[in-house]
Structure 1
Amino acid sequence: MGGFFPESRSTPFLISFLLFLFLAFCYSPANAENSISQIVPLIKQEYPGKPPHIRMLYVNILSLGTRKINQPILLDTGSSGMTIDCAAVLPRKLCSAEGVHITKTLELDGIFVTTQKVVMNYGIYDEYGNVALARVTFGSPHSPVATDRLVPFLIRYKTVKRSTGEIVGGRLWPKGIFGVSPIGGGGPNRMLKSPIDAVSAGNGLRKGYYLSPIGTDWRICANEDANCPTVEAFHIGISESVKSDFNTQKWMAASNRYNFPTIDSCILLKEITTCRPTVYDTGNSTILLADNLPKDSDGSMGVGTKVAVKIAMLGEWKFDTSYASELEFSPTIGHSIVGIRYFETNSLLVDLDAKEIGIRIGH
């Protein structure tokens, strides 16, 4: 006779069954979970070597494709695209400072490693590697976050200090970068973009992320020793109620040279105000100003220097420097950088749907 239900089923049964389906859909765990941001724990590390006071945040990469990685890499709001050390991904026999030893595209546990070589530029150094593609899973083993498609990234085989050509690395060097800047990208045709762009936000959430305060407590530790503290501060997916608590504006780019978003900010230091496009950068331990300002006799600004950062129409944040080299100056770059100190007590939001950045001062 056709239809989904046999004729022997009664009308009351049909009504009850339809009601059951409706309730199951409305109250299923999947739908309930989709309305809540996914929380990714961040690893807090104070570098145990020299120079002192280098503080960084890391995200744990759990797997690429179906290959388990379990490798912390640097969280960087000031760059786009992910990089990861060759030895953390591939058999060591394929990795050397001369390159990844493959002659054609290699498929390994859902990781597609190509022969296309790329150089990525970061601050004072460059990373050399091959383009690869895989689904990326990161965060906590108990609550993992995964991309919904293959993501292009860089498998790096060497890191070079640009000024000297020196190959750098070693036990304490970050084993990769988790670049979550939403602007531009790296590599050929800027194809290496933020992995967050490939993470589904869930029903009722805006696509993007926000960082809640990470706290002012730091401990000297090493990821290799698994003794660094974690903080649940990286939230994937943005609810309307969360976004309403931020002051937001459309993001801008300082220039076509850079692939990070900026907000106009004014920094008051020793009664001198400098206003520039500013990037809020988890990958930087210092405050870098795009001007030369008067320094103390020892060439620094001194411990306890009072700094005020005023973000155009969004808020003001004040702090005292805690070590002499926390303030740096580079009059040639044309923009300012506000590093990890901002994220200790304040929040940053990136709405990928609206192409907006949000600032929340004090919480």
Structure 2
Amino acid sequence: MKIKKLLLQKQLIACLLIIATLISCKKEKNLGPGNGSPLTIGLYEYFSGANKRIFLPVTQIGTKPVSYYEIFDTGSSGMTIDASGILPASMITTSGIQVTGDSVVVNGITVTSKTGVVSFGDATGTTKEYGNLAYASIKIGNTAGSYTFKRVPIFLYYKIVNSDGKQLSAHSADVFGVGPGESHANSEITSPLRYFDTGTNLTSGFKLATLNASSFSSTGTYVAGLLTIGLTDSDLSSSGFIMHTLTRYSIGGYSPNIPGTISYSGKTISAQFLFDTGTPSVTIIEDKLATTALGKLPANTQVTITTNKGFTYTYTTSNTGNLTEIQNPNNTADYRTILSIDFFFKNEYLTDYSNHQIGLKNN
């Protein structure tokens, strides 16, 4: 099953290792469980060529201290992480993770015998992760503060293979998916942010502030205050977000896709929008009427999106930013128009897990 379009280009395969090497982690301040107050933390902004990523540090899984940087991804649901360096090497074989019986506990991680596959891509190319459902406490954060989620279901994968059949390096595509739905690998796997202790005063969900375009660097720059976990009443009623009620499906749960229209090059078409921090460079417009117009939109093309609730955003393509391509869903077998990470430079984003809605706000 497809989850989203994740561009796994060679320079990005190595970026997790680069960031882990160049960003030092000092003694952490543990902010403790949610007590009715939102938790605000920073993310790392990273670029390689035209591709941009935002990363969330993970410093402990179960009882095992680690130092991994996960792609913060609004376009998928659930945390995926390579088992290498987390489980004993003797448990990981070319044919899978070895589990005796229904489950086994290693390093405070409950690894089940339930296997699955997470797929990224479309009919033109798919990258697949193979692994097992597992449960563990997860500690996130850095020197400015950290938080530990208790017993989170995650997807622990043992190999990742691209559309050419090549197995990629360990931890080359660890993802922290915060979408509102369920993983296609196992419906128990959902956003780890759902496991934040909201107390009695908060609503389960998060806000993502506008990204700082000038802070993206090839070594990864920590930007404070980007992510707020736990929503207040004012976030949902008087902060200027336009709210969009989500649809639930039997597979995948609540979908992050929002209906609307998109206008470009003198025409307007219907669309299903996915606002996706996990797409690093190129917005994809799916146009079922497109024939000869497939491919990159020229620079200085104006594009306007309008959701069914009246949220509107207009951008102009250039040679260095807001890169946009036209595809036909008859070729890709994917009908979603996917807004890349550039969307988040100008707009705030909110997901309300409790009430199954997404908020969008121009900034």
After TM superposition, is the score higher than 0.5? Answer: yes
Corresponding residue for residue 131 of structure 1: 133
Q: How far apart, CA to CA, are the structure 2 residues paired with 1:156 and 1:228?
A: 25
Could you tell me which amino acid in structure 1 is paired with residue 205 of structure 2? G
**Mapped contact 1:216–1:345 kept (Cα < 8 A):** no
Corresponding residue for residue 55 of structure 2: 58
Larger radius of gyration: 1
**Mapped contact 1:132–1:153 kept (Cα < 8 A):** yes
| Candidates 61, 64, 67, aligned match of 1:67 | 64
Question: SS where residue 137 of structure 1 aligns?
Answer: strand
Richer in helix (by share)? 1
Corresponding residue for residue 24 of structure 2: none
Question: SS where residue 202 of structure 1 aligns?
Answer: coil
Q: How far apart, CA to CA, are the structure 2 residues paired with 1:259 and 1:354?
A: 11
Change (3 A) 1:337 1:276: same
Corresponding residue for residue 38 of structure 1: 39
Could you tell me which amino acid in structure 2 is paired with residue 209 of structure 1? F
**Mapped contact 1:215–1:345 kept (Cα < 8 A):** no
C-alpha distance after superposition, 1:216-251 (max 9, x if no partner): 225452xxxxx3012231110011222221111211
Question: SS where residue 213 of structure 2 aligns?
Answer: coil
Question: SS where residue 196 of structure 1 aligns?
Answer: helix
- Structure 1 residue 251 corresponds to structure 2 residue 249: no
**TM-aligned CA deviation for residue 259 of structure 1:** 6.1
**Mapped contact 1:295–1:301 kept (Cα < 8 A):** no
- Using structure 1 for the length normalisation, give the TM-score: 0.79
| Candidates 176, 201, 204, aligned match of 1:204 | 201
Corresponding residue for residue 284 of structure 2: 288
Q: Percent identity?
A: 24
C-alpha distance after superposition, 1:296-334 (max 9, x if no partner): 7x9421233222122233321121223385324242322
Corresponding residue for residue 184 of structure 1: 182
- Using structure 2 for the length normalisation, give the TM-score: 0.79
**Mapped contact 1:289–1:328 kept (Cα < 8 A):** yes
**Mapped contact 2:41–2:144 kept (Cα < 8 A):** no
- Structure 1 residue 168 corresponds to structure 2 residue 168: yes
Change (3 A) 1:220 1:144: closer
Write out the 4+ residue segments of structure 1 that deviate beyond 6 Å after TM superposition: none
**TM-aligned CA deviation for residue 63 of structure 1:** 1.0
Change (3 A) 1:266 1:126: same
Question: SS where residue 307 of structure 1 aligns?
Answer: strand
C-alpha distance after superposition, 1:29-68 (max 9, x if no partner): 999x834321132111213xxxx41211111112112211
Corresponding residue for residue 307 of structure 2: 311
**TM-aligned CA deviation for residue 349 of structure 1:** 0.8
Question: SS where residue 42 of structure 1 aligns?
Answer: strand
RMSD of Structure 2 on Structure 1 (CA) = 2.8
C-alpha distance after superposition, 1:161-207 (max 9, x if no partner): 2x432222368x33x1111111233324x111111121112342211
Could you tell me which amino acid in structure 1 is paired with residue 222 of structure 2? T
Corresponding residue for residue 119 of structure 1: 117
Could you tell me which amino acid in structure 2 is paired with residue 66 of structure 1? T
| Candidates 105, 114, 120, aligned match of 1:107 | 105
1:348-363 → structure 2 map (5 Å cutoff): 348-362=349-363
Change (3 A) 1:88 1:186: farther
**Mapped contact 2:59–2:66 kept (Cα < 8 A):** yes
Change (3 A) 1:276 1:251: same
Change (3 A) 1:307 1:165: same
**Mapped contact 1:94–1:101 kept (Cα < 8 A):** yes
- Structure 1 residue 229 corresponds to structure 2 residue 221: yes
Corresponding residue for residue 19 of structure 1: none
Q: Which moved more, 1:240-249 or 1:253-262?
A: 253-262
Q: Which moved more, 1:58-67 or 1:250-259?
A: 250-259
- Structure 1 residue 343 corresponds to structure 2 residue 344: yes
Change (3 A) 1:254 1:152: closer
Task: Give structure 2 stretches of 5+ with no counterpart.
Answer: 1-30
**Mapped contact 1:289–1:331 kept (Cα < 8 A):** no
Q: How far apart, CA to CA, are the structure 1 residues paired with 2:157 and 2:55?
A: 18
Corresponding residue for residue 262 of structure 2: 267
Matched length = 318
Question: SS where residue 296 of structure 2 aligns?
Answer: coil
Q: Which moved more, 1:311-320 or 1:78-87?
A: 311-320
Change (3 A) 1:235 1:295: farther
**Mapped contact 2:181–2:252 kept (Cα < 8 A):** no
Could you tell me which amino acid in structure 1 is paired with residue 279 of structure 2? N
Q: Which moved more, 1:350-359 or 1:93-102?
A: 93-102
Task: Give structure 1 stretches of 5+ with no counterpart.
Answer: 1-28, 222-226
Corresponding residue for residue 301 of structure 1: 297
Corresponding residue for residue 157 of structure 1: 158
Corresponding residue for residue 224 of structure 1: none
Could you tell me which amino acid in structure 2 is paired with residue 356 of structure 1? Q
